[in-house]
Amino acid sequence: MLNLIQNVLDCEERNDLRQFASQLKQSGPRYLLRNDILSDFSKYCADQEKPDYFYHSSNLGRLIYYTQEIILDQESLYLIIRPKIAEQEAFQVLEDLTVEPITIQTLLDVRDRFVNHYRPNEGDVLELDFKPFYDYSPIIRDSKNIGKGVQFLNRFLSSKLFQDPRQWQESLFNFLSLHEVQGTQLLINGRIKSQQQLSDQVKLALGFVSDRAEDEPYESFRFKLQDMGFEAGWGNTASRVRETLEILDELIDSPDHQGLEEFLSRIPMIFRIVLVSIHGWFGQEGVLGRPDTGGQVVYVLDQARSLEKQLQEDIKLAGLELLKVKPKVIILSRLIPNNDGTRCNERLEKVHGTDNAWILRVPFREFNPNYTQNWISRFEIWPYLETYAIDAEKELRAEFQGVPDFIVGNYSDGNLVAFLLSRRMDVTQCIVAHALEKSKYLFSNLYWQELEDQYHFSIQFTADLIAMNAANFIISSTYQEIVGKPDSVGQYESYQNFTMPDLYHVVNGIELFSPKFNVVPPGVNEQVYFPYTRSEDRVPRDCERLEELLFTLDDPSQVYGKLDDPTKRPLFSIARLDRIKNLTGLTECFGKSKALQEQCNLIFVAGKLRTEDSTDNEEKDEIVKLYRLIDEYNLHGKIRWLGVRLPKLDSGEIYRVIADHRGIFVQPALFEAFGLTILEAMISGLPTFGTQFGGPLEIIQDKVNGFLINPTNLEETAQKILEFLSKCEQNPDYWLEISNRGMERVYSTYTWKIHTSRLLSLARIYGFWNYTSKEKREDLLRYIESLFYLIYKPRAQQLLEEHLKR
């Protein structure tokens, strides 16, 4: 990038840079992000009557394109440039246009000064740097392979271990000797005493099973294999046992990383799983639409069902049914005594549609009953998590009669609890962020002190740093969740370096090229969400009831707004009422477009109808704003606002009823980490318009199976919807074409079967390498514990003291 800056300075564009900087400084000190920078540069080009190519193709235009941030102070201009994905460079441009590269430490000082938190002794602030702990781990070189961590790790460590055949065979022998379930030894027994004997016995067993009928059940020759040293776990039929032993035989003699992954994916290693989801109302009925619930609750419940089903299938294929082995999945959540009509005050609740999956709710300890007895916002939950983890460990050990095999954390608070549990029980753990607040709230780290009373970001961002660095591996739903795209920063990437003035500087917060990152998108519950065309699976009575609710029901307790013409094409959305979900933005977009109002009705399902019924401040603000917009644009007769909590089955059917009316689904979020509602709408058959900011960018192939919108550009969003409607008028089959392509997209890529197969494979492979490589993580974990006890815990305790006073 220094060369590009020099090219600007060495040509006539030098004066353009000077004038552009002068134009920016006219408003005084400013901190500009990429959208603002591009907007201001476009204005500069227009004001200066530059030719069309200048904005995109000039040296200065290219420099501006790569610039993510500009910080202006009285004397200098600071450019933070992102030359490529996951890389950043910073430069200081002085008034005489002298350019100097600056270090991350200097940049963080500049950011501090910008928010008037300049400290006389620069550098007199705690610096957090995780980079040294990744220096001894394999690192991915090419950014396009970020998110494919297990493939890289398996290939790298396999080649390293395979170089020493004796060490490889000994590691494999020891690993196979470990496995047992319910006190019963699996895979190999004491008759095989060494790696050499393992190799000999595998060949002997192969000869034995090869002479048997392919479909002969394992039980009929079980004892013969035991005499050879092989216990249950190799397969349920002669052919399955033979296939598994053949893979092992090949691995012993001619090892390769692909064979190792195939072998580990067959090994019965995981039977007991914990999914941690602490905050919010976690239940199966009556919780969706409440504050802090939504996609995450749906995700975890669907994941639990799918994991149990996959484990049952794996156990059957491994031949363990005869041992009466049953998997168990526990969703660890919070027990809320004042349950507000939900089942969140029940300690144990079976997950619908499962044999042995449960919601285990553990209460917070009694501090201030106003908090520990009631729901607490995700921003206020932090003081209770350490004692919660201690109590949850006891409950989990009792439920499992031992420790789990695998722990999955969800969201920032659940990820922290997953770390604490994993540390105490020495269990492989992964984390799923779902959404990182730091990306959702601009400048949230820079102005954390002003936002602390409401959001407590200092605690949350510290918890994020702890969890993401402690995890054995990280699951993301999309690639860009990790490192964004060429013109935008990823959620995890935003933790690479940042400042929290007067608290600490993060010099290296996470190694983006670490093989711990894996992209494993979630799926859709196909029992609930399925195409509108599957009429045989739909219940006519439910269709009629929801039809009335959506279009004609006159019940002020559930619905606001009556439609003058219910036959107009519905624009439909469903989301929580918070600023990021941006239903108010969609309403304003609709209000500003007379053409949309002529052709469509706007219908959405969203939270409460009245501020007095809500306990969430952000929801209250959005409710007030919605009523104001409806009045301001006179949308009465054109809009329906359903303030209802839909049961799970109704939430699936409501998409299909909209599809019956040839409707459109619009997801207008300012940022969406993934976008489960987009999958739900697409699989139901609704042509879908989704935000271009976040996960939908990878789900929707624009103008192929859906449409991407910029929800901050209301006019452009309206125009894209109108273009779609125009094409539908010209070609009556166009709605069907997009509908069918959307369904095909989901079925080919986003199913829970694909997700859970991959997740369990990852857990086995990372578990194997954690054991065989003997990776020394204790130094990293001790560093993380220092962060927990010296920063997180004191600040959480301070918040608890505030709670006790309220």
Helix (H, G, I), strand (E, B) or coil at 549: helix
Angle at which helices 583-592 and 714-730 pack, to 10 degrees? 70
**Mean per-residue pLDDT for 739-753?**
93
pLDDT of residue 1: 66
Domain boundaries, the chain: 2-102, 153-159+188-230+234-266, 272-523+755-805, 535-750
Residue-level pLDDT at 296: 84
pLDDT, tens digit (0-9, with 9 covering 90-100), for 169-190: 898 999 999 999 988 999 999 9
pLDDT score at 440: 81
CATH for the stretch 272-523+755-805: 3.40.50.2000
Residue 478 CA: distances (Å) to CA of 518, 672, 699: 9, 11, 9
Higher pLDDT, 288 or 43: 43
Q: Per CATH, the architecture of 153-159+188-230+234-266 is what?
A: Up-down Bundle (1.20)
Tell me yes or no: is domain 535-750 CATH 3.40.50.2000: yes
Report pLDDT for 795. Answer: 97
The CATH number that domain 2-102 falls under is 3.10.450.330
Where do we find the tokens 């977009």?
Answer: 589
Report the alpha-carbon distance of residue 267 to residue 235 in Å, rounded.
9
Own/partner contacts of 561-568, CB < 8 Å, gap of 24 or more, are 561/630, 561/635, 561/636, 561/637, 561/639, 561/640, 561/641, 562/636, 562/637, 562/640, 563/601, 563/637, 563/638, 563/639, 563/640, 564/637, 564/638, 565/601, 566/601, 568/599, 568/600, 568/601
- Spell out where 356-414 has E strands: 357-363, 406-410
Categorize the per-residue pLDDT at 442 as very low, low, confident or very high, splitting at 50, 70 and 90.
confident
Within a 10 A sphere around the Cβ of 3, how many other Cβ atoms? 6
**272-523+755-805 shares its CATH topology with 535-750:** yes
Contact predicate 695/490, CB 8 Å = no
Q: Residue 700's pLDDT band (boundaries 50, 70, 90)? A: very high
As a whole number, the mean pLDDT across the chain is 92
Looking at residue 121, its pLDDT comes to: 54
pLDDT score for 731: 95
**pLDDT (tens digit, 9 = 90+) per residue, 758-775?**
999 999 999 888 888 766
Element (H, E) at 238: helix 238-253
The tens digit of pLDDT for each residue in 54-78 reads: 999 999 999 999 999 999 987 889 9
Residue 152 to residue 607: CA distance in whole angstroms: 44
Give the whole-angstrom CA distance, residue 131 versus residue 419: 20
- What value does the mean pLDDT take over residues 522-551? 92
pTM to 2 decimals? 0.85
Helix/strand/coil for 358: strand
Q: What's the pLDDT score for residue 460?
A: 97
What DSSP line would sit under 557-605, residue for residue? TTEE---S-TTSEEEEEE--SSTTT-HHHHHHHHHH-HHHHHHEEEEEE
Specify the 3-state DSSP secondary structure of 644. coil
Looking at residue 122, its pLDDT comes to: 57
Q: How far apart are CA 251 and CA 259, in angstroms?
A: 7
Count other C-beta atoms under 10 Å from residue 456's C-beta: 23
Q: What is the pLDDT of residues 83-122, one digit of tens each?
A: 999 999 999 998 888 899 999 999 999 999 888 755 555 5
Q: 313-371, pLDDT tens digit by residue?
A: 999 999 999 999 999 999 999 999 999 999 999 999 999 999 999 999 999 998 888 88
